[in-house]
Amino acid sequence: MIILVGGEKGGSGKSCLAQNIAVYLRAEKGANVLMVDCDPQRTTSDWIQERKGNPRLPEINCVQLYGKIRNELLNLRQYYDYVVIDCGGQDNLALRSSMAVADHILIPLRPKRRDLKTVPHMEDILSTCKMVNPKMNAAFVITQCPSLPSLASRILEAKEVCRSFGIPVLNSVTFSRNMYDDSEESGRSVIESEPEGKAAHEIRTLFEELLAGKVEDAHEFTQPQKVEAVS
Amino acid sequence: MSLLNLKKSKPLAKPSLRSVEAFIDDAILYAQGQSKSVRKAQTTSSASSKSERAATNKAVPITKTQRAEGMRHATFTLTPECIEKLSVLSAQTGKAKSALIREWITQHAASK
């Protein structure tokens, strides 16, 4: 199974999500997992290197692939239970190649204007991608949410904006927590640093919700449910 | 400030059936600041006005057809001094060297 964590917006937590999902699958599901790092910043590759320095952490393999990687991904899929792709924050060949073969696509966005402004372009890509990869299950997830109750409306509004484009949004969100940064520094995931913590719970629930997304029930991107007029 | 004004306001153009390769290659066009529709518009209609181009704020490469419209290539032999003066005049006036030559020919022919 190929799981892509990608999107056009940088800084939305793609690498963080991809890494934590990979550890969840490896450590708690006992799956054979490969990470594919398509980001020239090598965030995930460096994190894997950190992990290799700690023999107590379950080993996860990682390869770096750039450009048109569709055939490579199809080949790698045969040898692993899960191929988790971390694709950097821009619309490029690697992102589209991954989208063309992915079973699940998770697109993280922060509840910020600059992130939500990328949704129309993602809708455009996803609607075309649906024609070449009709089985894909794509969903947005709102990440780095503020925990202040007074800012809760921003999370709800961000979800509403995404839904207006006819693209599923996970109910699960991730909050802005130091645990995500702290665990990454030592090559760990939040699941390994604090297995019963809130961050670990967020990762488990959002990933299970993504997998539970029924492909046949996925929204038809070309027929949005509602079109709002903007004054 | 509410985020709700970012909700969808325009219906998505119906995507055409494309091959996997074409879908992937569209990323190159996007990186060049072009969209599928822009590419089509450029190839089907080369008569977009300067004001339209300015409105989109995008650099439009000068194609051979635009450059050669109603023109023919011609080669002349000039001294290095003439070439240098022509370059200076072109820089001062902001006109192409060939445009300056055409103006001079028109003026010279009119004065005769």
User: What is the full per-residue pLDDT of chain A (231 aa) written as tens digits?
Assistant: 999 999 988 899 999 999 999 999 999 999 999 999 998 889 999 999 999 988 899 999 999 999 999 999 999 999 999 999 999 788 889 999 999 999 999 999 999 999 999 999 899 899 989 888 998 999 999 999 998 988 999 999 999 999 999 899 999 999 999 999 999 888 999 999 999 999 999 999 999 999 998 544 444 444 444 444 544
Residue A90, exposed/middle/buried by CB under 10 A (0-12, 13-18, 19+)? middle
Closest-CA distance of chain B to residue A10, Å? 15
Interface touch A227/B23, C-beta < 8 Å: no
Please report, in angstroms and rounded to a whole number, the separation of the first and last CA atoms in chain A.
44
Closest-CA distance of chain A to residue B47, Å? 27
pLDDT digits (tens, 9 = 90+) for B38-86: 444 444 444 455 556 555 555 555 554 455 567 887 888 888 889 989 9
Overall pTM surpassing 0.90 (yes/no): no
Interface touch B12/A124, C-beta < 8 Å: yes
A227: Cβ contacts below 8 Å, ≥ 6 apart = A164, B8, B9, B10, B11
Residue A171 gets which letter from DSSP? E
Backbone angles phi, psi at B84, to 5 degrees: -65, -45
B interface test, pick of A4, A91, A99, A101 with most B CB neighbours within 10 Å = A91
From the list B23, B25, B30, the residue facing A129 with the nearest CB is B23
From the list B3, B12, B23, the residue facing A111 with the nearest CB is B3
Residues paired with A83 in a beta bridge: A2, A34
Query: Which chain B residue's Cα is nearest to A100?
Result: B20
Set of chain A residues whose Cβ sits within 8 Å of the Cβ of B3: 111, 113, 116, 154, 157-158, 160-161
For the question of an ipTM over 0.90, the answer is: no
